[in-house]
Amino acid sequence: MTQTPDLADRIPTALSRAILDWYAATGRTLAFRSTTDPYAVLVSELMAQQTQAERAAEAWTAWIARWPTVSDLADAPVADVLRAWAGLGYNRRALALHRAAQAIVTRHGGVVPASVPALVALPGVGPYTARAVAAIAFGMPVGAVDVNVRRVLGRLAAGGHEAFTPGGMQALADAVVPPDDAAAWTHALMDLGARLCKPARPRCADCPAIAWCRYAAGERPVPSSPAGASARKPVERFAATNRWLRGRVIDRARNAADGAWVAYPEAMGLHSATAVREAVVALGSEGLLEVREGEGGPEARLPT
């Protein structure tokens, strides 16, 4: 695994400037990129996890108009928060964001903390989100490493991210942040990974970093996985996944009249009545639903 003290040398200043210039000229215009308000940035980062950036930006605009401050969100009913999250998927993120807002109010007086450790301590905020908020909102020279950034930096520095341990990749990401352009750099790497440096068929010819890229030069790290580990697993139909079922269960409660209990007595889609019951009970234990036992099976509603 690549572990060297001169990590910053792997992304020279000229390369950083080429990426920043490319982003300045072609970067995506997304609503949440117009602000460095820490709360607004935190909302955008949690929304954009595993959601298309354009969809997240549309939802973010409505969200900030409805709850413009941390205190506004902290005081909002959980049911309203879950309804406003419709269409973004992974509803636990909505609950985590609500709890994070409440924690910011109770622990930090309603002010989003500026340090990475304090941000990581908030509900639903992991290392990536904490560093993204720190870089974008506070201009701290820390690297936010998601799958896109890991792929971009790994290919540039060593032909692929497989050459780095997670700690080594984080060290590389931190080392190469331009001190005066942390926010733009964070957005630029995300755009580069999403638009050009794709997992399959990357658009190397259009990339501003091609002259420095070891992947584009044909270098590839030796895979560390054992023989046969790359064999493809059968692809599960989305409608058969637990994620699909959980989303439909919450959608049914979300679309009911305010405070109304919804029954779940039967199968849903490709899932048996037993699987539906298990999903409802699990969502209740996570705080995403209030659950009670009805005559024909479990009943649930959004938290009041």
Enzyme catalytic residues? 45
- The answer to whether 236 and 275 have CB atoms below 8 angstroms apart is no
Tokens of 259: 């405070």
Query: What is the secondary structure of the chain as a DSSP string?
Result: ----S-GGGGS-HHHHHHHHHHHHHH----GGGG---HHHHHHHHHHHTTS-HHHHHHHHHHHHHH--SHHHHHHS-HHHHHHHTTTS--THHHHHHHHHHHHHHHHHTT----SHHHHHTSTT--HHHHHHHHHHHH--------HHHHHHHHHHHHSSGGGS-HHHHHHHHHHTS-TT-HHHHHHHHHHHHHHTS-SSS--GGG-TTGGG-TTTTT--PPP-SPTTTTPPPPPPPGGGSHHHHHHHHHHHHHTSPTT--EE--S-BTTB-HHHHHHHHHHHHHTTSSEEEE-SSSEEEE---
Largest CA distance in the chain: 69
Sort strands 298-301 and 290-293 into parallel, antiparallel or unpaired.
antiparallel
- The encoded tokens of residue 267 equal 């199968």
